[in-house]
Amino acid sequence: MKHASGRSIFSRTSLMAEYSARMGDTVHRHRASLTLNVAKTEAELASKAKSEFIAKMSHELRTPLNAIIGFSEVLGDRRAQNQSPEKVSEYSRYIHDSAHHLLSIVNNILELSKIQSGKVSLNTEPMDLEEVLESCLVLFQETAQENTIEIRRQIWPDLPLVEGDITKVRQIIINLVSNAIKFTPAGGRVTVTIDTVGLDTARLVVRDTGIGMSPEDLEIAMQPFGQADSGIARRFEGSGLGVPIVRLLTDLHKGAFHVHSEVNKGTTATVTLPISAAQKPLSNRVAQVTLPAADSATAGNRL
């Protein structure tokens, strides 16, 4: 069959089919190339992240390990018998503190790994958030006293019970208060506030008068292993896992986590948690209690 132009209709159909087939092959090859490039890019990013992780962790792990090895060698040396009891006690304390710091880093790494792999489950129950807070602040008493850092509590009266996993909520509080104290200079203040937002949400706010962070540094600190002060001679040691773990644990509780910070003006971290369906009111409390530095505290978990 021929068209008025003299060309065969079948010929034109064959050309269209051949064109479509070639176009399909081209699209298929392009799609395969894109897939390959994406896989290559992801592999490169994963390799880079792995290298950065190893570089950061090698420093974080070597620092306390070197202290443990060094001071234990001093104590094990026969010449140590000539050391005063005060020096022996000091070296022992260095070993203890370094081991505690090392354990904290390892625990944070394992905790983050479990959360990201979905292997963490919550054992939720109604809890008194103020009681949980007080049990955490006890851990910080000695360090806060040594650094003359004041801790204030601002607890709203008649707070309802919060629904959550006590162990995980303790970890949230410890990480936030530890960071606040660590980045607050001597003579500074850390204020912990507990109140409610609406009828179904409790709010925990940890505010410090510390060094603060720029928006760029804050973005880094929110990432796992991110450290705003990441130079070789960092002033503040830590694995960079405290804040990311808080964010992940808060997400598991169906809550919200927000950090606001300004350089030289301090940092405010806010966590919201669901109120228990039991809605059991607690006894009236004093709206604000200010304790001297001697009753304040800091502890081992680090950013």
For residues 136 and 280, membership in a common domain is answered with: yes
What's the pLDDT score for residue 30? 74
Range of the domain at 129: 125-295
Average pLDDT in the 217-230 region? 63
Average pLDDT in the 111-140 region? 86
Q: Note the pLDDT tens digit of each residue in 97-121.
A: 888 778 877 877 777 777 777 777 8
What's the pLDDT score for residue 54? 65
Number of domains in the chain: 2
**Beta bridge pairs of residue 109:** none
CATH number of the domain within which 107 lies:
1.10.287.130
Q: Of 13-22, 64-73, 106-115, 274-283, where does mean pLDDT reach its minimum?
A: 274-283
Q: If you ran DSSP here, which 8-state letter would residue 161 be given?
A: P
**Beta bridge pairs of residue 206:** 192, 269
- 303 neighbors 189 (Cβ within 8 angstroms): no
Band (43; pLDDT cuts 50, 70, 90): low
For residues 115 and 224, membership in a common domain is answered with: no
- 286 neighbors 137 (Cβ within 8 angstroms): no
Residues 6+ apart with CB under 8 A from 74: 80, 83, 91
CATH number of the domain within which 176 lies:
3.30.565.10
Going 151 to 152 to 157 to 163, the CA torsion angle's sign is negative
Residues 6+ apart with CB under 8 A from 159: 128, 129, 130, 194, 195, 196, 202, 281, 282, 285
For residues 157 and 288, membership in a common domain is answered with: yes
Q: Would the pLDDT of 15 be above 60?
A: yes
For residues 64 and 197, membership in a common domain is answered with: no
What's the pLDDT score for residue 99? 85
The pTM for the full model equals 0.64
Q: Would the pLDDT of 292 be above 50?
A: no
Q: Would the pLDDT of 10 be above 50?
A: yes
For residues 287 and 172, membership in a common domain is answered with: yes
What's the pLDDT score for residue 127? 93
